[in-house]
Chain A
Amino acid sequence: MIELSQVSRSFTVGDQQVAALRGIDLHIAAGDYVSIMGPSGSGKSTLLNLIGLLDRPSSGTYKLDGGDVTALDDVQQARVRSEKIGFVFQAFHLVPRLTAAMNIELPMMLAGIPPEERKQRVAKLVENYGLKDRADHRPDQLSGGQRQRVAIARATSMNPAVLLADEPTGNLDQTTGKEVMHLLEALLEQNVALIMVTHDPTLGERAHRQIHMVDGQIISETGRSK
């Protein structure tokens, strides 16, 4: 489903070219559970952003569901993000002035889904993620675990094919972190490809495939595709 071939990404810092990714080849199938590990600055977040279409490769091709997505324009890429990709961030990134339910509704609202259908889907998500009595609370009235549950509910509201998680438990204590991981892993049953960036080895080992990166290159890959 995800095919990266010879993907590189370099940034210009001052008058120097810094390569964040060099010649990455990566295939990820639907329902895969992949963790990307490596020291900071190894390019793992850049890789995740590229897969999430938030960034464009300097060279190489990226095919999603068989189609080359690097050539798409801003509007088309936004559409792909909206329909196929969900994000879960370390810092949750909830809109502070909107309630939990409205935060979950946001991607559907941006996609122009009719209000009645949105209401139904939000109600179901709120139920599934155990947020029923917190739905009308704003993010600052929620605990860290609850916030990340809202973020996961939001990420899955458009039924994406790929879920990208950047240090999803980084701001949580161990117990709530585990809870959040269980919620994310439950999505694998729906054939969602889960790609997680972490530098916590115990967390990374939970994934079926572990990719280790150093200096913008994949140095080892353990486990195997589903």
Chain B
Amino acid sequence: MRLTDVAQFAISSLRGSPARTLLMMLAMSIGVAAVVVLTALGEGARRYVVDQFSSLGTNLVIVLPGRTETAGIGPGLMSGQTPRDITLDDAEALLRSRSIKTVAPLTVGSATLSRGALNREVVVAGSTASLLDVRHMSIGLGKFLPPGDIHESASVCVLGSEMKRELFGNEQAVGQWVRLGDRRFRVIGVLASQGESMGMRTDELVIIPVASAHQLFNTNGLFRVLIEAKSRDTIEQARHDAEAIMLQRHSGEKDVTVITQDAVLATFDRILTALTMAVGGIAAISLAVAGVLIMNVMLIAVAQRVKEIGLLKALGAPGKQIRALFFAEAALLSGIGSVVGLILGYAGSIVIRQIYPVLPASPPWWAVLAACGTALSTGILFSVWPARRAARLDPVAALAGR
């Protein structure tokens, strides 16, 4: 029997009972659509997090004070020492590495920002001109911190867009003076509105030179040193260099932690991919249920078409041909069901993207393949038994309708 004839015969028997066919396709397509939509959601969440991370800066290596041990108590604690501060000189020394493009030291604290009668508590970031590039920030009005000596404590500040609005409203802010703690600072620029990135609202930030911040908070230690590696390939080298330089400067004591953004990102990536797969797997259960449904309905079909099967045998169809006919029917059902399910699933992800534009919900290719594969294989697998049963029917009894 020719393949096209097998397909045509299967189509004719599917069309012979449209209600049954429609219901089975519906079951299959709901299963496939569920896998597609749920994995699209998971994938959307993953990409949201990844996007958030990369908005922090690219090729980022971060140096933080203190040694983070994953187990036990650090050597510093054992000997009663506190970790040494990372100083501005340490930060400058990092530039010796050829893999490091720029370095932005960062000191963070909070202080009262006031202008006339208006005052509020703000997060103050002390840094240098490089912060703008390293953190992918952009300036809205005026200028960012001027480049120059890292130790110079100029009395200038850059306001986040929200701060500017609260303090100045629609007035001109650049060139005006504000008070931060006990010092006066001249506003030289306003950041462009950026919204939230990784929980840090740059719109509500006040940025001042790092040396001024050290004076303001009476400290010498940096909160972080943000390093931008020359390229993606040199991230590992930059991390290695940073560790070596810090080790050398801190007289051989490992009292800083160097992390790469990539490592953090990869961890999140792994967690969220696993989550997406788990959700997809749960949805795939509905496909298995659809498979059982197909088996049930195919068994009924065999019972209903006993006479037809007997006739086909009398007309010279061997058992394997009858099996092939029932296989083809199941394959067609699950195949068309998957296509309809894919269309529904993609439509669903588009709707989700419309409702939550921040979530880039689109199903990953592997989930689409897995959904279709599971649908087809359960459909065919669960039709094995009905098809075998049909093929084994005794033609004499079948023709008599027994």
Residues of B contacting A18 with CB < 8 Å? none
- For the complex, give the distance between the alpha carbons of A204 and B285 in Å: 62
Assess whether B12 is interfacial by the CB under 8 Å rule.
yes
Please pick, from B12, B310, B312, B318, the residue contacting A75 in the complex, using a CB distance under 8 A: B318
Q: Which A92-127 residues sit within 8 Å CB-CB of chain B?
A: 93, 95-98, 102, 106-107, 109-112, 114-115
Asked if A78 is at the interface (CB within 8 A of a chain B CB), the reply is yes
> What's the nearest-Cβ distance from chain A to residue B387, in Å?
15
Asked whether any CB of chain B lies closer than 8 Å to the CB of A146, the reply is no
Contact B318 A93 (CB under 8 A): no
Given contacts A93-B307, A97-B13, A109-B9, contact A82 B315 (CB under 8 A): yes
B314: which of A81, A83, A109, A111 is its contact (CB, 8 Å)?
A81
Cross-chain contact A95 with B316 (CB below 8 angstroms) = no
Report the separation of the CA atoms of residues A158 and B316 in the bound assembly, to the nearest whole angstrom: 10
Contact flag A109-B5 (CB < 8 Å), given A55-B396, A93-B399, A97-B12: yes
User: What is the distance, in angstroms, from B363's C-beta to the closest C-beta of chain A?
Assistant: 38
- Residues from chain B with Cβ under 8 Å of A81 in the complex: 313-316
Closest to B391 in A: A74
Residues of A within 8 A of B319 (CB): 74-75, 78
Residue B311, interface by CB 8 Å: yes
A54 within 8 A of B: yes
Interface: B308 (CB within 8 A): yes
Q: Which of A79, A112, A154 contacts B1 (CB 8 A)?
A: A112
Q: Which of B2, B9, B395 is in CB contact (< 8 Å) with A54?
A: B395
- Residues of chain B within 8 A (CB-CB) of A112 are 1-2, 5
Residues of chain B from 289 to 329 with CB closer than 8 A to chain A in the complex? 307-308, 310-321
Complex CA distance for A209 and B94, rounded to whole angstroms? 112
Contacts of A49 in B (CB 8 A): 396
**With the chains together, A53 CA to B287 CA distance in Å?**
42
Interface residue B15 (Cβ < 8 Å from any Cβ of A): yes
Q: A52 contacts the other chain (Cβ, under 8 Å)? A: yes
**Closest approach, in angstroms, between the C-beta of A195 and any C-beta of chain B?**
14
A107 interface neighbour in B308, B315, B396, Cβ under 8 Å: B315
> Residue of B at shortest CB range from A94?
B311
Interface residue tally on B, bucketed by range: 20 to 34
Give the docked Cα–Cα distance between A2 and B15 (Å).
41
Q: How far is the CA of A81 from the CA of B311 in the complex (A)?
A: 12
A82 to B318, CA, bound (A): 10
Contact between B314 and A52, CB atoms less than 8 A apart: yes
Partner of B318, one of A55, A78, A85: A78
Q: Which of B308, B310, B315, B395 is the one whose CB lies under 8 Å from A110? A: B315
Question: Does A33 reach chain B (CB closer than 8 Å)?
Answer: no
Give, as a whole number of angstroms, the nearest-CB distance from B5 to chain A: 5
Task: Give complex CA distance A49, B396 in Å.
Answer: 7
Contact with A along B327-339 (1 / 0, CB 8 A): 0000000000000
Partner of A98, one of B1, B12, B395: B12
Chain A CB within 8 A of B16 CB = yes
Is B316 a contact partner of A83 (Cβ separation < 8 A)?
A: yes
Contact check: which of B12, B15, B311, B316 meets A93 at CB < 8 Å? B311
Instruction: Decide: A78 near B399, CB < 8 A? Known: A93-B307, A109-B5, A110-B1.
Output: no
The CB with the most chain A CB atoms within 10 A, among B16, B313, B320, is that of B313
CB distance from B398 to the nearest CB of A (A): 9
Provide the residues of chain B in CB contact with A114, threshold 8 Å: 2
Residues from chain A with a CB closer than 8 A to the CB of B2 are 109, 112, 114-115
Let me know if B16 and A54 touch, CB within 8 A.
no
Tell me the nearest residue of chain B to A78, going by C-beta: B318
B51 to chain A, nearest CB (A): 55
B320 lies within 8 A of A89 (CB)? no
Among B1, B12, B308, B316, residue most surrounded by chain A Cβ atoms (within 10 Å)? B316
Q: Please give, as numbers and ranges, the residues of chain A lying within 8 Å of B399 by CB-CB distance.
A: 54, 89, 93
- From residue A36, how far is it (CB to closest CB) to chain B in Å? 16
Distance, CA A49 to CA B399, complexed state (A): 11
> A93 — which chain B residues lie within 8 A by C-beta?
307, 310-311, 314, 399
Q: Does A62 contact B (CB under 8 A)?
A: no
Chain B, 370-402, CB within 8 A of any chain A CB: 395-396, 399
Contact indicator A110/B12 (Cβ below 8 Å): no
B318 to chain A, nearest CB (A): 4
CB distance from A74 to the nearest CB of B (A): 5
Chain B residues in 8 Å Cβ range of A82:
315-317
Known A-B contacts A93-B307, A93-B311; the reply to A111 vs B316 at CB < 8 A is yes
Q: Is the CB of B320 within 8 A of A75?
A: yes
**8 new A-B pairs (CB below 8 Å) besides A78-B318, A82-B316, A112-B5?**
A87-B314, A87-B315, A95-B311, A97-B12, A109-B5, A110-B316, A112-B2, A154-B315
8 contacts between A and B (CB under 8 A): A54-B395, A81-B314, A87-B314, A89-B399, A96-B16, A109-B2, A115-B2, A154-B315
Chain A contacts to B: CB under 8 angstroms: 49, 52, 54-55, 74-75, 77-79, 81-83, 85, 87, 89, 93, 95-98, 102, 106-107, 109-112, 114-115, 154, 158
Question: Can you list the 6 inter-chain pairs with the closest CB atoms, starting with the nearest?
Answer: A82-B316, A78-B318, A97-B16, A75-B318, A81-B316, A107-B315
